[in-house]
Amino acid sequence: MFALQLLVGLVSAYRYEGPRVNEEAARAEAEALGAAVKSAAGGKLLAENGDVVRILSTRSKPHLVETLRHYKEIHGRGLEEDLGGHGREEETTALLLEAVLCLAAPAKYFSQVRQRTTMIRGRRIILMNME
């Protein structure tokens, strides 16, 4: 159910796409994400926290980048590092991690995806970029 909520939210038309970032909101959302990750470490499912879906699905990319910067500043580690430690809900965590990476750093994310998909039977296929 969480995956469906997140995916529908990510493709909805309600995302603000402007360049403006509300610093106070970004900091508050970084703290909310930290609380969600902390509660997941305590046994509560990360997917049960509605703030996570709301933040990832409604905020602009510049706002998300700023939120992730505040998260790292507040918690001393990046959100992607903290998401890597929740084995209990691996599928949900993997989905969240993919969404965060794709939204915050699309070029880096797609580069990693391309690298993963070009590995076949231990040999790397060299792809040429036609630009």
pLDDT score recorded for residue 50: 79
- pLDDT tops 90 at residue 47: no
User: How many Å separate Cα 92 from the centre of its chain?
Assistant: 11
- Domains of the chain in sequence order: 2-124 (1.10.220)
Q: What is the mean pLDDT of the chain?
A: 76
Q: What is the pLDDT of residues 71-121, one digit of tens each?
A: 999 999 888 888 765 554 566 777 777 788 777 777 777 777 777 666 554
pLDDT score recorded for residue 130: 42
Q: What is the pLDDT of residues 112-130, one digit of tens each?
A: 777 766 655 455 555 444 4
Distance between CA atoms of 125 and 62, rounded to whole angstroms? 34
